Structure 1
Amino acid sequence: MLTNILTNIGLVLGLTIGVPFLFIFLLSSINHRTKQQIANRFGIGGQIGFGFLGIMIHEASHLLMALVFGHHVDQFRLVRIPTADNDTLGYVHHTWNNRNLYQNMGNLFIGVAPIFGCCLTTLLLAKFTIPEVYQSLIMSTHQSFSQMTFIMPTFSWPKMLIFLVVAANICIGGFDLSQADFENSKQGFWQAVLFLVLLTLVISVTPWQESLFSLLYHFTVIIVVISLFNLLISLVMNLIFRFI
């Protein structure tokens, strides 16, 4: 019984924190370098031109999750023109009750929200611009990791071009988590871990644990597929701006 519970705790923490944070680190690192390349080549304002959609989605994701976790939003700007004195591209200023476990835990999700917000937006963009590719992508999420395959279907090149241009803008401006984002996430990390451990303990003594863990596994597969999709776009954009 104890071994089963410890295994379940390791599984839940690995799938809900380990796997997503691996992609969070990769996506943020790659797109941070891309934005630096753009700033070096076109000036700091070039980040607005090449990534304004992503910047707005980035800040809107922070804002939405701050509201979900009951934080008080003092000020926010979805996008702003950077200056020599202030190179901030957007911001969400929020406060919370340090004695409230739910609000403290929310800092983790508020900090990393742009990664999920941009992934979801890119997925929805694919659904409406290249539905054939979207359907093939969704079908691949129903496979196990060891058997996962993706077959590129036929698609409309003009629509694919539209998708790539918009998706590139989202990736460049949205996936770059700032140092403040990571610091904010740290404040809720241990509260989130404690909550997940307690939740796993409860689930482990219920008759629904198998179906719930199966649902968690399927959710993780979806996260992996979508993240790999965005990682590929991010790598291509990084290579393009490295050589232009």
Structure 2
Amino acid sequence: MLTTILTNIGLVLGLVIGVPFLFILLLSLINRNTKQHIATRFGINGQLYFGFLGIMIHEASHLITALLFGHKINQFRLIKFPSSENPTLGYVHHTWHQRNIYQNMGNLFIGIAPIFGCCGAILLACRWLLPNGYELVVTLADQTTSAPITIPDFNWPGLLIFIVIAANICIGGFDLSTADFQNAKQGLWQAVVLLIIVALISSFLPIRTSLFGWLIQLTIILSVISGFNLVISLLFNGFFRLI
């Protein structure tokens, strides 16, 4: 029983925190470098032209998650022109009660919210423009299916539009700032404690199988979309390095 409980705790922490943070670190490093090359080649405002969708989704993800965790929004801008004095492309200024465990824990999820927001937006774009690709992602996440995985036929105009949208979201949305990471760190221990409690309780409940099945499906979808985002990010990083 102890082994099962420890396994459940490791699984919950890995799926909810570990996997998202791994992709956040990789995508942030790549796309931060891409934006540096864009700013050098096209000027500081070039980051907006090549990543405006991602920037707005990034900030909207912070904003919505902050509201969900009861934070007070003092000021926000989903997108703005940067300057040498203030290079930020958008911001969400929020405050919370330091003694409120729920609001403090929210800082972790507010900090990493862009990966879920951006991945969700790309998944919706896939469903709209490439329904066959969307069905492939759903099939990969469905652990009960035994159907063979085949590469579907794509609508080429839809594929090209999808790649442009995905690239814009990747370039602008997956670059977490130092402030984002610092903010996320403030709620880390509260979130870890809560997840450990959830894993412990679920280990003794009949919903355990359903809960972990749902978490694994969500992580597979996140991993598939994030893996695609990594490929797109690397390709466009190479492109902006060469031009």
TM-score category, normalised to shorter length: over 0.9
Is 1:225 aligned to residue 234 of structure 2? no
Are residues 93 and 149 of structure 1, via their aligned partners in 2, closer, same or farther at CA, if it must alter by over 3 Å?
farther
Moved >3 Å (runs of 4+): 147-151
- Residue 51 of structure 1 contacts residue 173 of structure 1 at CA under 8 Å; is this kept in 2? yes
Task: Give distance in 1, aligned partners of 2:238 and 2:100.
Answer: 44
Correspondence list, 1:152-167, <5 A? 152-167=151-166
Correspondence list, 1:129-168, <5 A? 129-143=129-143, 151-168=150-167
Q: Partner of 1:153: helix, strand, or coil? A: coil
- Residue 56 of structure 2 contacts residue 173 of structure 2 at CA under 8 Å; is this kept in 1? yes
Q: Partner of 1:93: helix, strand, or coil? A: strand
**Farther-moved stretch of structure 1 (108-117 vs 219-228):** 219-228
Consecutive unaligned residues of structure 1, counting only runs of 5 or more, are none
How many pairs were matched up?
242
RMSD (Å) for aligned C-alpha atoms: 1.7
Question: Identity rate of aligned residues, in percent?
Answer: 62
Are residues 131 and 9 of structure 1, via their aligned partners in 2, closer, same or farther at CA, if it must alter by over 3 Å?
same
Q: Partner of 2:93: helix, strand, or coil? A: strand
Which amino acid in structure 2 is aligned with residue 186 of structure 1? K
Is 1:107 aligned to residue 103 of structure 2? no
Which residue is 1:93 aligned to?
93
- Residue 125 of structure 1 contacts residue 163 of structure 1 at CA under 8 Å; is this kept in 2? yes
- Residue 104 of structure 1 contacts residue 188 of structure 1 at CA under 8 Å; is this kept in 2? yes
Is 1:239 aligned to residue 242 of structure 2? no
Q: How far off is 1:151 after superposition?
A: 3.4
Which amino acid in structure 2 is aligned with residue 5 of structure 1? I
Which amino acid in structure 1 is aligned with residue 97 of structure 2? N
Task: Give distance in 2, aligned partners of 1:130 and 1:240.
Answer: 24
Which residue is 2:181 aligned to?
182
Consecutive unaligned residues of structure 2, counting only runs of 5 or more, are none
Q: How far off is 1:214 after superposition?
A: 2.2
Is 1:19 aligned to residue 19 of structure 2? yes
Q: Partner of 2:189: helix, strand, or coil? A: helix
Task: Give distance in 1, aligned partners of 2:15 and 2:141.
Answer: 15
Which residue is 1:127 aligned to?
127
Task: Give distance in 2, aligned partners of 1:174 and 1:166.
Answer: 12
Which amino acid in structure 1 is aligned with residue 36 of structure 2? Q
Q: Partner of 2:94: helix, strand, or coil? A: strand
**Farther-moved stretch of structure 1 (196-205 vs 217-226):** 217-226
Task: Give distance in 1, aligned partners of 2:47 and 2:235.
Answer: 17
Which amino acid in structure 1 is aligned with residue 183 of structure 2? N
Q: Deviations over 1:62-95 (max 9, x none)?
A: 1000100000000000111111211111000000
Which residue is 1:169 aligned to?
168
Which residue is 1:196 aligned to?
195
Q: Deviations over 1:84-122 (max 9, x none)?
A: 211111000000001111100000010111111011001
Which residue is 1:208 aligned to?
207
Q: How far off is 1:195 after superposition?
A: 0.3
Are residues 9 and 66 of structure 1, via their aligned partners in 2, closer, same or farther at CA, if it must alter by over 3 Å?
same
Task: Give distance in 2, aligned partners of 1:173 and 1:14.
Answer: 26
- Residue 140 of structure 1 contacts residue 149 of structure 1 at CA under 8 Å; is this kept in 2? no
Which residue is 1:9 aligned to?
9
Task: Give distance in 2, aligned partners of 1:232 and 1:151.
Answer: 20
Task: Give distance in 2, aligned partners of 1:26 and 1:148.
Answer: 32
Task: Give distance in 1, aligned partners of 2:206 and 2:112.
Answer: 33
Task: Give distance in 2, aligned partners of 1:35 and 1:68.
Answer: 30
